[in-house]
Amino acid sequence: MRKFLVAVAAFALLAFDSAAGQTWSMNEIAIKISKVSYSGEIAITVTNTSSKPVRIWEEANSWGRGRWRIFVFRKGQLQTFFQNPAQNFTVNFPSFREIAPGARNEEKLNPNDDEWCSLGHCRNSDPSSHTPEDDRKTTFQPGDLIIVDYDVPCYLPESPRFHVWWGVAADSATVR
């Protein structure tokens, strides 16, 4: 029985003790729209607001892919964009990057890139499945309200096991 309890305690320490000091607070990161271009690109700053390092999933794997959403309000109409989570990965394993306390990461989002979808259509870079919709470009206009959402569900067991941040962070900006 004692060996069993020691094994359980060792497993718990290995599986759940945070090398990065993760507190599991949902307020550890903040996102800020730093720039919106008329051509569709959005620059985002991801800031670690905590006093400890925070891990976020890399986008080059299924854990990190498909976490960003863009909402555009224009003249009373809503247009929604999301990263296409149905991507093929040559090698797929959980990888993350760490943001130091108070540090910032810069992200670029562009709904005109091949990895983005809008309701009813996903862009496609494969020439054999190309449609005229793939050529239509999204632009932003003065007065557009842009909302960006970073939504990372808690993947069990990977997020707790690797101590990776999960939650929702969002920001908005009006195009000038």
Mean pLDDT by 10 residues, the chain (176 residues): 40 37 65 98 97 92 91 97 85 92 97 86 69 82 98 81 91 98
Q: pTM (2 decimals)?
A: 0.81
User: In this structure, what token pair is assigned to residue 69?
Assistant: 């959403």
Which class does domain 20-174 fall in? mainly beta
CA distances 27 to 24, 30, 100, 138, Å, are 9, 7, 15, 32
State residue 122's pLDDT score.
80
pLDDT of residue 125: 60
Whose tokens are 């309000």? That residue is: 73
Residues facing 31 on adjacent strands: 46
